[in-house]
A and B are shown apart, each in its own frame.
Chain A
Amino acid sequence: AQKITQTQPGMFVQEKEAVTLDCTYDTSDQSYGLFWYKQPSSGEMIFLIYQGSYDEQNATEGRYSLNFQKARKSANLVISASQLGDSAMYFCAMGSGTASKLTFGTGTRLQVTL
């Protein structure tokens, strides 16, 4: 069975600072994918970034990067130069096997302050 663990229920970061949101995963599959989603207060889930288990380079999308450490089974999200609009709930998710299902973590609420 797959499991995603996000140990930080809430975090604060000052505007323009970088922040790291932690995610560890557990799977016995060799092939899997890792995702990060953002959920603003409006409720809609927004896809941010994807990392495949065989990707050699860490994924980056603009201000978002994924710090993938396969041996440690971690896939932390790094947001650089935080903005007030980054305040939201962030979910880490994993897909493995062939069923296209995703397993989600419990989320981290990020608050960006002035």
Chain B
Amino acid sequence: DVKVTQSSRYLVKRTGEKVFLECVQDMDHENMFWYRQDPGLGLRLIYFSYDVKMKEKGDIPEGYSVSREKKERFSLILESASTNQTSMYLCASSFGDRAYNEQFFGPGTRLTVL
């Protein structure tokens, strides 16, 4: 079974802090994704990566950066957390051999910025 794990289920940070959200997948997937989920807005793509050290902006990259130094790990970084970044963050991964592959999701991290 594919497993995607995220470093924390719940996280509380203060405004201005640097926040790291970690995601690890164990299926050798090429693609990895970070989404945020807000009520009434569905899932919105922040960043994705299709290979080690490669990254592309999604629909809402402002205020975020990412790092992918190893194939299995994709980190989301909030350089200076703000209250409007309070949200549920979901990581996903998929094979890169063709378009429209099923994405496998982690359990999510609910981040609260005070």
Contact = CB atoms under 8 A, between A and B. Distances in A.
Contacts of B108: 43-44
B74 interface: no
B45 A101 contact: yes
Interface residues of B, number: 29
Interface of B: 31, 33, 35, 40-45, 48, 50, 56, 58, 88, 90, 92, 94, 96, 99-108, 110
Given A33-B100, A35-B102, A45-B105, A105 B42 contact: yes
Contact of B99 (A9, A33, A50): A33
Given A44-B107, A106-B41, A106-B42, 10 more contacts: A9-B40, A32-B100, A35-B102, A45-B105, A52-B100, A91-B43, A95-B100, A97-B99, A100-B101, A102-B103
B94 A43 contact: no
Q: Which of B31, B33, B105 has the most CB of A within 10 A?
A: B105
A42 interface: yes
A105 B45 CA distance: 12
Interface in A29-79: 31-33, 35, 37, 42-45, 47, 50, 52
B90 A99 contact: no
Contacts of B92: 45
A44 B105 contact: yes
A53 to B, nearest CB: 9
A98 interface: yes
Contacts of A4: 42
A42 B44 CA distance: 19
A104 B50 CA distance: 19
A86 to B, nearest CB: 19
B2 to A, nearest CB: 10
A99 B107 contact: no
17 contacts: A42-B107, A43-B88, A43-B108, A43-B110, A44-B107, A47-B102, A47-B103, A95-B101, A99-B50, A99-B56, A100-B94, A100-B101, A101-B48, A102-B45, A103-B45, A106-B40, A106-B42
